[in-house]
């Protein structure tokens, strides 16, 4: 009986010490945003700064020339660069230039008009950021 127990214990130890099977490592793929997504995130941050400056009565500075890259930045889906996108992007640039060149009295109105042009464009394509963009509006 003792020998049977010893054999069972030795067998248990030997069979429980199986070599671990190595699973192939999954390759981690980091999300890399498109040029347009990166530009729009930068414009959002810039516009949040402008909003804060407007609310505090500070000078907003000069028009950021990088915003003009909206006309040639690579989109996540290149098929989205269509006539509608081109029209909305031109309107946005015009509205933003008006924010920087308009009178101080119309600053809030011009800024909200520029933000609304973003929202209008995003209603046609890529609706996800709309709630975030609405946070830019000055009430």
* The two structure tokens encoding residue 40: 């729009």
**What is the phi/psi pair of residue 27, to 5°?**
-80, 125
The pLDDT of residue 29? 75
Task: Give 64's DSSP letter.
Answer: -
**pLDDT tens-digit profile, the chain (139 residues):** 767 666 656 665 666 665 555 666 677 777 788 999 999 999 999 999 999 999 999 999 999 999 999 999 999 899 999 999 999 999 999 999 999 999 999 999 999 999 999 999 999 989 999 999 999 999 9
Structural domain spans, the chain = 35-57+72-134
Helix (H), strand (E) at residue 90: helix 83-101
Residue 100: count other Cβ atoms within 10 Å of its Cβ.
16
The C-alpha atoms of residue 136 and residue 115 are separated, in whole angstroms, by 7
Burial of residue 93, with CB atoms counted within 10 A of its CB: 0-12 exposed, 13-18 middle, 19 or more buried: middle
**pTM higher than 0.85 for the full model?**
no
């Amino acid at each position: 009986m003792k020998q049977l127990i010893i054999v069972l214990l030795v067998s248990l130890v030997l069979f429980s010490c199986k070599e671990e099977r190595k699973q192939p490592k999954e390759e981690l793929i980091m999300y890399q945003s498109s040029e347009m997504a990166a530009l729009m995130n930068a414009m959002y941050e810039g516009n949040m700064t402008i909003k804060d400056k407007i609310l505090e009565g500070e000078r907003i500075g000069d028009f950021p020339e990088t915003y003009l890259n909206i006309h040639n930045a690579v989109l996540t889906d290149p098929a989205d660069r269509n006539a509608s996108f081109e029209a909305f992007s031109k309107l946005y640039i015009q509205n933003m230039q008006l924010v920087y060149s308009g009178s101080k009295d119309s600053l809030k109105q011009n800024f909200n008009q520029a933000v609304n042009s973003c929202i209008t464009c995003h209603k046609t394509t890529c609706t996800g950021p709309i709630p975030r963009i609405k946070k830019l509006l000055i009430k």
